[in-house]
Structure 1
Amino acid sequence: MKIARLTLSDRASAGIYEDLSGPEIERIISEAGFGTPQWIRLVMPDDRDDIENLLRKLSDEDQCDLILTTGGTGPSRRDNTPEATKAVIDRELPGFGEIMRMKSFQAVPTAILSRSTAGTRGRSLIVNLPGKPKAIGECLPMLIPAIIEALRHLKD
């Protein structure tokens, strides 16, 4: 299995702070029993065109089974991840974002500002995760059964 983890952050990509979200994604995926996937690890700024191009490349050329993004899902002008994702997917799977907002809202009322989504492009599943490691730790584990099922369907 080939999995890409894409951290979208102007500051992390500039080296202002360390990317902690990407490693948190890997930790959770490893604990979920995905074996030893081939990882593509990337950190890049919140540029919509660049994000779109990279998502296309990861899906079409690199043939990633799963693409997990972190960051860029808030309401600020530089948060472009959902728009980039929606521009490249064939089918949207809004339930991923809905359940993450419901779960996060229980702890943080401002979680309703998240615009996370998910969808498929070809045989790739793309999921937008929150940008904070703690939120990834709360949200990603509960998505694992749906991710496994979606990947099973995409393999057909």
Structure 2
Amino acid sequence: MRIARVTLSDRAATGVYADESGPEIEQVAQRCFAEPLEWTRVLLPDDRAALEAALCRLADEAQCPLILTTGGTGPAPRDITPEATRAVLEKELPGFGEIMRLQSYAKVPTAILSRATAGVRGRSLIVNLPGRPRAIGECLPLLVPAIAEALDHIAGFRPALTSPPA
């Protein structure tokens, strides 16, 4: 299965520090999906036009069934991921963000500041994940059953999952 992961971070994009969230997405996904995964990796600064263009390219041209973003979902002025995502979606699936906020709130009350969302563009599912590796490890496994179901509906295949997702 092809998966694109897009990290939004001004500092990681300029080399101030290494992207840790993108690799964490890969590690968690490898544990959750039973089939081989082929990765497309994108690292961008927090720039709405660049993210919109990348999401369109990954969905329309590269035809990645699953596109996972990390970072840029908070309330800071440079956090633009949900707005860029909504701008390119055909159908929004807000339940993904809702369950991540609910899960994370039990551990970190400030998790309610997240504005993460998800949705469909063509035959691709786009999901905004948290920007912290630990939060990715807590949230992504919760989403995997719904991701598999959504891919069945929009892309015509259901990826095999490990049992249970970990």
- TM-score interval w.r.t. the shorter chain? over 0.9
Does residue 6 (structure 1) correspond to residue 12 (structure 2)? The answer is no
Task: Please list the CA deviations of residues 50-107 of structure 1 after superposition, one character each: whole Å capped at 9, or x if unmatched.
Answer: 1001100000000000000000000001000000000000000000000000000001
Match of 1:130 in 2: 130
For 2:9 and 2:34, the matched residues in 1 are separated by: 26
Quote how far apart the aligned CAs of 1:35 are: 1.6
Matches within 5 A, 1:33-112: 33-112=33-112
In the alignment, structure 2 segments of 5+ residues that lack a partner are 157-166
Aligned length: 156
In structure 1, how many angstroms separate the alpha carbons of the residues matched to 2:141 and 2:33?
11
1:115 is matched with which residue?
Answer: 115
> How far has the Cα of 1:34 moved from its partner?
4.2
How far residue 33 of structure 1 moved from its aligned partner, in angstroms, is: 2.2
TM-score by length of 2: 0.92
Q: Is the contact between residue 124 and residue 155 of structure 2 (CA under 8 Å) also seen in structure 1?
A: no
Deviations 1:98-143 (A, max 9, x none): 0000000001110000000000000000000000000000100010
3-state DSSP of counterpart to 2:39: strand
Unaligned runs of 5+ in 1: none
Q: Which residue of 1 aligns with 2:144?
A: 144
Q: C-alpha separation between the residues in 2 aligned to 1:151 and 1:114?
A: 24
2 CA distance for matches of 1:45 and 1:38? Answer: 23
Give the C-alpha shift of residue 49 in structure 1. 0.6
Q: Report the Cα distance in structure 2 between the residues aligned to 1:37 and 1:135, rounded to whole angstroms.
A: 21
Alpha-carbon distance in structure 1 between the residues aligned to 2:99 and 2:91: 18
What is the TM-score of this pair, normalised by structure 1?
A: 0.98
Pair 1:87–1:34, CA change in 2 (3 A): farther
| Identity of matched residues, % | 64
Q: How far apart, CA to CA, are the structure 2 residues paired with 1:34 and 1:133?
A: 21
Deviation at 1:38, TM superposition (A): 1.6
Q: Which runs of 4+ in 1 moved over 4 A?
A: none
Aligned to 2:40, the other structure's residue is in SS state strand
Instruction: Give the letter aligned to residue 125 of structure 1.
Output: L
Moved more, 81-90 or 29-38: 29-38
| Root-mean-square deviation over aligned CA pairs | 0.7
